[in-house]
Amino acid sequence: MHAVYPLVLGALLFAIGLYGVLARRNAITVLMAIELLLNAVTINLVAFGSIIRDALNIGQVFTLFIITIAAAETGLGLAIVLLIFRQKGTAGIDEQRTLAEPARLPDLSKLADRSSEPSPSARTAP
């Protein structure tokens, strides 16, 4: 088999996953695109393991490691997404603005005004 076939397949799948990570809005579909990225890497690893048949079997063993890490990553990622959904009511990653920098200078002054007055939770607590 020509070595270019599996390598080009891995490269194109990587590009597809990259588009998914950048363009999708729902956090869970972003996780799906990350799975595509990891699978592109595993195709490359298996292909090179089949081309260079070394004594350590490094390509296939590292593929097993990557599959394990992907399972752990998916579990943790879903736990984080569920936590965000419970707190904010949405799983869209473009609506998570808590840590975003203020866009323009007028927003900065507004932010300063808001920080000087008591927060809503402090007002409603007593």
Helix (H, G, I), strand (E, B) or coil at 56: coil
Kindly tell me which of 23 and 111 has the beta carbon lying closer to other proteins: 23
Nearest approach in angstroms of CB 118 to other proteins is 20
Q: Does 88 bind other proteins (CB under 8 A)?
A: no
Q: Does 19 bind other proteins (CB under 8 A)?
A: yes
Kindly tell me which of 52 and 100 has the beta carbon lying closer to other proteins: 52
The token pair that represents 26 in the structure block: 């729902």
Nearest approach in angstroms of CB 117 to other proteins is 24
Q: Does 93 bind other proteins (CB under 8 A)?
A: no
The 8 Å CB, 24+ separation contacts for 78-86 are 78/28, 78/31, 81/27, 81/28, 81/31, 84/27
Interface ranges with other proteins (CB under 8 A): 1-9, 11-20, 22-29, 31-33, 35-36, 39, 42-43, 46-47, 49-53, 56-57, 60-61, 63-65, 67-76, 78-83, 85-87, 91, 94
